[in-house]
Amino acid sequence: MSATQQRLTAWVHGHVQGVGFRWWTRSRALELGLVGYAANQADGRVLVVAEGPRADLDQLVDWLRNGNTPGQVTLVVDDFSVARRDLHGFYER
């Protein structure tokens, strides 16, 4: 990974569990060449953590907010930081 890599942490709110949302997110992330994971949270949200070029992370966030996602997304809270480079592949957790 180059120095331009960033880390996205996104909390996705809405009806996003039990509808194939994590699988859909994984598919979109792999299309973009990102690494990370999508994990269900006990409160009904999905946590998406991904690393890659900022432009690709922005595209993923756009898809999470505006894409034809499974279920219904009501809010995406995103945060960008320096890539930790500790992720490999993209997984559903």
At 52, the amino acid letter reads G
Check 22, 26, 28, 45 and give the catalytic one.
Answer: 22
Residue 23: helix, strand or coil by DSSP? helix
Q: Is 66 a catalytic residue?
A: no
20: left (phi over 0), alpha (psi -120 to 50) or beta: left
* Mutual angle of helices 54-66 and 21-32, in 10-degree steps: 150
Check 7, 26, 28, 40 and give the catalytic one.
Answer: 40
Strands 5-15 and 72-82: antiparallel
Q: Is 22 a catalytic residue?
A: yes
Give catalytic residues, as residue numbers. Answer: 22, 40
